[in-house]
Amino acid sequence: MAQDPQATLPEAEAGAVADRFKERVYATITMIAVVVGLSVSEADATGAALTVLTTAVGLWLAALVADLQAHRMAHRRFATGREWRRMVYVTGPLLSCAVGPAVTIALAALDVMSLTAALRTAAGVGIASLFAWGLLGGLRMGGGTVLALVAGLADAVIGLSVALVKATAGH
The confidence band for 171, taking pLDDT boundaries of 50, 70 and 90, is low
Domain boundaries, the chain: 11-169
What is the torsional sign of CA 123, 129, 133, 136?
positive
Q: Is the pLDDT of residue 56 over 70?
A: yes
Largest CA distance in the chain: 55
Average pLDDT over residues 78-88: 94
In terms of C-beta density within 10 A (0-12 exposed, 13-18 middle, 19 or more buried), how is residue 167 classed? middle
What is residue 7's predicted lDDT score, i.e. its pLDDT? 57
* pTM (2 d.p.): 0.88
Q: Is the pLDDT of residue 1 over 50?
A: no
Q: Is the pLDDT of residue 131 over 60?
A: yes
Query: What tens digit of pLDDT does each residue of 98-117 get?
Result: 999 999 999 999 999 999 99
